[in-house]
Structure 1
Amino acid sequence: MSAPTLAPDPATSISDGDDETHLVCCRPELSLCGLDVGDYPWSAEHADPTCVVCRDLEQQTCPRCGL
Structure 2
Amino acid sequence: MENWFSLLQKNVLNQQSWTTREQLRLAIVYWIEARYHRRRRQRRLGKLTPIEFETIMKDPACLAA
TM-score band (shorter)?
under 0.3
Larger radius of gyration: 2
TM-score of the superposed pair, with normalisation by structure 2: 0.23
Q: TM-score, normalised by structure 1?
A: 0.23
Higher strand share: 1
